[in-house]
Each structure stands twice: as structure tokens, then as C-alpha cells.
């Protein structure tokens, strides 16, 4: 998979690749994360967990608006890039900006893939695959519990626990 090396030939640039030298501006202790997040958010965002397929509140959800990180409250994805992948997780073909997320090589689970993390804290959001629709061909497969949705025109979230 040559996901990161090939730049898309359109307005959607690929996010940066993170490595062991990447510095995330938000660093909290485990106890601070546990206070800030619900137990399920903590499991997904801080322990790289995954919600069951078809169980997330944003899987078949198509309101217009913005999806924010439940960890850092930064914007991650727009409803304009959301599509029904049929996989059971909310899917997008591009992040709201390439700087919203970072990609981390993930060789776990007996396969090679790219983990998608929040660019401010390194919190786990999901994975990206090369089987999405045009214009990028990418499928950012996210966990609903890792995100907070705000309707178009609404105020950004001020709290992770909803």
C-alpha cells in the first residue's frame, strides 16, 4: 500500500506521517484523560480500541456539519466528505485539513495498515484504507466514540463527554 507517498491529484493532500519523534502539543496523564473522557472514549482514543461494527452513532448519520476529536475538540472531518462504506463505521474520503490528523504505520493484527490519530494528542481515531471513492480513493474508517458531531452553524464543542 503506497498510501502516504502518493499525493492525491486534487485539493485533498495526504496527512503527514507520524513516527516515534513526532511531538504532540497536548500531553495529559492517564488520570487526566480518564477524567476528560468517558470510559469508551478512553478505551478507543487512548488504548487504540475499536467499537463493534454497526454500533456507532455516526455510522448511518448524514446531517450536515463537522466532526471534532473527542480528545482535543479540534475539527477532524466535514460531513461533505462522509460516505456510506458499508463497513459499519463512519467513513470519510478526506480529513477536514491534512493537518487535522497524522498517520502511523500499524503492523498489528497480522496486517499492514495506517492508523489515523488526532494531530494534537496522538489519540487513536481509526484507520485509513485505499478502497474509498473518488476524488481521493481513501476510506478513513473512524470510531464514532472518538468524535463529537456539531451541526452546520453550531458552536464547537467545549466538553468531550456528551
Q: Is residue 12 part of a domain?
A: no
d(CA 125, CA 48): 8
Is 147 inside a domain boundary?
Answer: yes
Containing structural domain, residue 144: 27-151
State the chain's mean pLDDT as an integer: 91
Confirm whether 2 is domain-assigned.
no
C-alpha 28/C-alpha 41 separation (Å) is: 15
| Overall number of domains in the chain | 1
Q: Which of 104, 141, 146, 148 is catalytic?
A: 141
Tens digits of residue pLDDT in 109-118: 778 889 999 9
Q: Where are the alpha helices (DSSP H) in the chain?
A: 30-36, 39-47
Residue from 59, 68, 61, 81 nearest 11 by CA = 81
Active site residue 141: yes
Kindly state whether residue 93 falls inside one of the protein's structural domains: yes
Neighbours of 119 (CB within 10 A): 25
Mean pLDDT of all residues in 12-38: 94
Q: Is residue 10 domain-resident?
A: no
What pTM, to 2 d.p., does this model score?
A: 0.91
Does 158 fall in a domain?
no
Q: Is the pLDDT of residue 1 over 80?
A: no
CATH number at residue 126: 2.170.150.20
Q: Are 16 and 98 in contact (CB under 8 A)?
A: yes
Cell 504505520 belongs to which residue? Answer: 105
Amino acid at each position: 500500500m503506497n498510501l502516504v507517498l502518493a499525493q492525491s491529484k486534487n485539493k485533498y493532500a495526504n496527512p503527514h506521517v507520524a513516527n516515534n519523534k513526532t511531538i504532540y502539543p497536548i500531553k495529559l496523564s492517564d488520570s487526566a484523560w480518564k477524567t476528560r473522557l468517558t470510559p469508551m472514549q478512553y478505551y478507543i482514543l487512548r488504548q487504540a480500541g475499536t467499537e463493534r461494527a454497526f454500533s456507532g452513532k455516526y455510522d448511518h448519520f448524514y446531517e450536515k456539519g463537522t466532526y471534532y476529536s473527542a480528545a482535543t475538540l479540534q475539527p477532524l472531518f466535514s460531513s461533505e466528505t462522509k460516505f456510506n462504506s458499508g463497513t459499519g463505521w463512519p467513513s470519510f474520503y478526506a480529513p477536514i485539513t491534512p493537518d487535522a490528523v497524522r498517520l502511523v504505520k500499524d503492523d498489528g493484527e497480522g496486517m499492514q495498515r495506517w492508523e489515523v490519530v488526532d494531530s494534537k494528542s496522538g489519540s487513536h481515531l481509526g484507520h485509513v484504507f485505499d478502497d474509498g471513492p473518488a476524488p481521493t480513493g481513501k476510506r478513513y474508517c473512524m470510531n464514532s466514540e472518538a468524535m463529537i458531531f456539531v451541526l452546520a452553524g453550531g458552536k464547537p464543542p467545549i466538553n468531550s463527554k456528551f
